[in-house]
Amino acid sequence: MSKELIRLKNVTQKFDGETVLDNVNIYFNDSEFLTLLGPSGCGKTTMLRIIGGFQTPTSGDVCFDGVRINDLPPYKRKINTVFQKYALFPHLNVYDNVAFGLRIPKEAEDGTKTKLPKDEIDRRVREMLDVVSLKGFEHRSIASLSGGQQQRVAIARALVNRPRVLLLDEPLGALDMRLRKDMQQELKRIQQRLGITFINVTHDQEEALAMSDTVVVINEGVIQQIGTPEDIYNEPKNAFVADFIGESNIVDGIMREDRVVEIFNRRFACLDGGFEKDEPVDVVIRPEDVDIVSEAEGQLRGVVTSVTFKGVHYDTIVDFYGFKWLIQTTDYCPVDSHIGIRIDPDGFHVMKKSKYSGMFGDYSSYSEEYDEINDPSRSAAEEAEGAEDEE
């Protein structure tokens, strides 16, 4: 079915001694919509630049169709890029922006230059404007287009010379939310119609889940997980992924045996297995998988500390024995109410301990105490006091 097109083998990128990509191994299939997802500075753009040929990795190989292409310049790769600042030519109309690349004579290995015939250029430009739904916009000036329309011109321009792969670096970053959602569908539609590989970069997890066949979660230059959107959401590999993809309560647990997990000294039925007996684990419970019931019926009991109306549901923060969880529920439970909760076996997701254990998944930042601790005027005053003591 899907065939491997690009592979990064042991790719490491260092800048001034800092490791930005750390021994990355990954392949990209033909006709796949893949998204690189991770926080700012994790190395997403760097990885894209290495694939595009704008950056030579410190070590490791880039292969295209099984051939090592480390030394192939960008313009000789069958790969085009749409950058976040898509830099259209403001003095050219839509048609001429898209036609621009096709009008440049192509140089063959022996140095001879050939020009595409005018009617061939015209056919291709019109075909591409049709693909991005901009038929009839040929003579419009760039300045007269909306942000979404400009974005589509940039995509048409990158696709018109028929690359095998399109690299998109936060292509929707500049658009407002409604337009972003429309363009997500649009990009997906274009990718399916042309059947080429799209490698998209974003730090927006919703966008990654909505558009992609495959999501690659990256942190600190290391690939954390590769999978379908469903895999990544339902079966996060570690606390970083669980926290980065949607909201998660993450608590310490112990796997007592297959399908029995213990949290807060209580045992719960779950669906996970394959751990050592009594192995310490991280347990993810998604806010939408917790049912609020009466105190008497609850598997755990807690006190509501904050409620925020979110439209479809309430973000309800509940204190269980000093640990605060986020619960998303359509039931309104006022602050200070004592509630019980129930979690079905499929509401638990058990993960191996990792370097990210204990770093994420705690919602105590919603509480007032936290605000107090973080009061800058208070810490400044304390610092001043400390300084006086030292003198």
Residues making contact with Mg ion (CB under 5 A): 45
User: Is 17 near ligand ATP (CB under 6 A)?
Assistant: no
User: Is 35 near ligand ATP (CB under 6 A)?
Assistant: no
Residue from 77, 203, 286, 349 binding ligand ATP (CB under 6 A): 203
Site for ligand ATP in 45-64 (CB under 6 A): 45-46
Residue from 10, 25, 41, 103 binding ligand ATP (CB under 6 A): 41
Residue 45 vs 248, nearer CB to ligand ATP: 45
Work out what residue 42 binds among ligand ATP, Mg ion, none; the CB cut-off runs from 5 to 8 Å by kind. Answer: ligand ATP
| Burial class (CB within 10 angstroms; exposed 0-12, middle 13-18, buried 19+) of 7 | middle
Work out what residue 46 binds among Mg ion, ligand ATP, none; the CB cut-off runs from 5 to 8 Å by kind. Answer: ligand ATP
Residue from 43, 57, 227, 347 binding ligand ATP (CB under 6 A): 43
Work out what residue 20 binds among Mg ion, ligand ATP, none; the CB cut-off runs from 5 to 8 Å by kind. Answer: ligand ATP
Residue 200 vs 329, nearer CB to ligand ATP: 200
Work out what residue 53 binds among Mg ion, ligand ATP, none; the CB cut-off runs from 5 to 8 Å by kind. Answer: none
User: Is 370 near ligand ATP (CB under 6 A)?
Assistant: no
Work out what residue 349 binds among Mg ion, ligand ATP, none; the CB cut-off runs from 5 to 8 Å by kind. Answer: none
Residue 83 vs 100, nearer CB to ligand ATP: 83
Residue 26 vs 128, nearer CB to ligand ATP: 26
Residue 203 vs 286, nearer CB to ligand ATP: 203
User: Is 205 near ligand ATP (CB under 6 A)?
Assistant: no
Residue 44 vs 349, nearer CB to Mg ion: 44
Minimum CB distance to ligand ATP, residue 206 (Å): 16
Minimum CB distance to Mg ion, residue 170 (Å): 6
Work out what residue 43 binds among Mg ion, ligand ATP, none; the CB cut-off runs from 5 to 8 Å by kind. Answer: ligand ATP
Residue 39 vs 136, nearer CB to Mg ion: 39
Residue from 5, 24, 42, 165 binding ligand ATP (CB under 6 A): 42
Work out what residue 15 binds among ligand ATP, Mg ion, none; the CB cut-off runs from 5 to 8 Å by kind. Answer: ligand ATP
Q: What is the 3-state secondary structure (H, E, C) of the chain?
A: CCCEEEEEEEEEEEECCEEEEEEEEEEEECCCEEEEECCCCCCHHHHHHHHHCCCCCCEEEEEECCEECCCCCHHHCCEEEECCCCCCCCCCEHHHHHHHHHHCCEECCCCCEECCCHHHHHHHHHHHHHHCCCCCCCCCEHHHCCHHHHHHHHHHHHHCCCCCEEEEECCCCCCCHHHHHHHHHHHHHHHHHHCCEEEEEECCHHHHHHHCCEEEEEECCEEEEEECHHHHHHCCCCHHHHHHCCCCEEEEEEEEECCEEEECCEEEECCCCCCCCCEEEEEEECHHHEEEECCCCCCEEEEEEEEEECCCCEEEEEEECCEEEEEEECCCCCCCCEEEEEECHHHEEEEECCCCCCCCCCCHHHCHHHHHHCCHHHHHHHHHHHHHHHC
Residue 24 vs 263, nearer CB to ligand ATP: 24
Residue from 5, 6, 11, 20 binding ligand ATP (CB under 6 A): 20
> Cα(186)–Cα(189) distance, rounded to whole angstroms?
5
User: Is 40 near ligand ATP (CB under 6 A)?
Assistant: yes
Residues 6+ apart with CB under 8 A from 150: 86, 88, 142
User: Is 196 near ligand ATP (CB under 6 A)?
Assistant: no
Where does residue 105 fall: left (phi above 0), alpha (psi -120 to 50 degrees), or beta otherwise? beta
Residue 131 vs 218, nearer CB to ligand ATP: 218
Binding site for ligand ATP (CB under 6 A): 15, 20, 38, 40-46, 203
